[in-house]
Amino acid sequence: MSADLATVPRTAWRAPGRARVARLRDRLRDVYGVPCAPPHEDPLAELVLTVLSQSTNDRNRDVAFLRLRDRFDTWDAVRDAPVPEVEEAIRPGGISKVKSQRIHDILVAIEAANSAGGLDLGWMRDAPVSESRDFLCALPGVGRKTAACVLLFSYGLRDVPVDTHVSRVGMRLHVLRPGAPFEELHDAMLALTPSGAELELHVNLLRHGRRTCHAQRPACPSCILRRSCPSSHLFQPR
């Protein structure tokens, strides 16, 4: 467990009620608004983008993604290309050797497992979410967070990605159980998120983690959630 999560108080945790989640959502909405990200209906692009996002910032991720799309006309071409060529294309995204092999392995695995044939994942639009999630989580290196990104951002389906920011803020607020494993965090996040609020809660918790509830030295004194946060007393400016 990272140092910032080790400081989360673990005593007296209780699953949050709907009213508390609604209040937190409203407070976050006051500050960050309601995010607008209509489903783009391109699950393969989302899958690759999420692989590229590992251990880098959004800008480098996007540069790597655009270079990949410029270099190869189709995802079939990416799959069939020598891995070093993919590695060279995505180099600005960092750890390109690992990511290029991962992208290749995922595309090959989709082709092998996809009953719809080829690299077409359009069937996920109308399939039960659990079926699509299981399919994605069986791909090499794909976990619940990546699967949730694909389902939510591609088709607006009911899933909530729990990344490092969402998990940190959620645990500090005692919305998520401190120290819970990622599988439990995703199940819990889904259970506490009202239907239709998946994108909003994910994006606004992430924004709050980036802008205020930093991993190191969170800005508790100026935080709009401090009155209802059981962790607020733990973090004070030096």
The site for ligand SF4 (CB under 6 A) is made up of 169, 172-173, 212-213, 218-220, 223, 225-226, 229, 231-232, 235
CB 131, CB 157: distance < 8 Å = no
Choose between 40 and 211: whose C-beta lies nearer to ligand SF4: 211
Nearer to ligand SF4, 154 or 232 (CB): 232
* Minimum distance from residue 195 beta carbon to ligand SF4 (Å): 25
204: which 2 tokens?
Answer: 């606004």
As a whole number of angstroms, the distance between CA 143 and CA 149 comes to 10
Output the smallest distance, CB 75 to ligand SF4, in A. 39
C-alpha dist (Å) from residue 152 to 14, 61, 128, 190: 27, 19, 13, 12
Please state the three-class secondary structure of 168-187 as a single string: HHHHHCCCCCCCCCHHHHHH
Cα separation, 116 vs 120, whole angstroms: 7
Smallest gap, in angstroms, from Cβ of residue 227 to ligand SF4?
8
User: In terms of CB distance, is 7 or 101 closer to ligand SF4?
Assistant: 7
Contact (CB, 8 A) for 106 and 134: no
CB 29 to ligand SF4: min, Å: 15
- Decide whether 16 or 43 has the Cβ nearer to ligand SF4: 16
**CB 78, min distance to ligand SF4, A:** 40
Q: Which of 134, 130, 135 is nearest to 120 (CA)?
A: 135
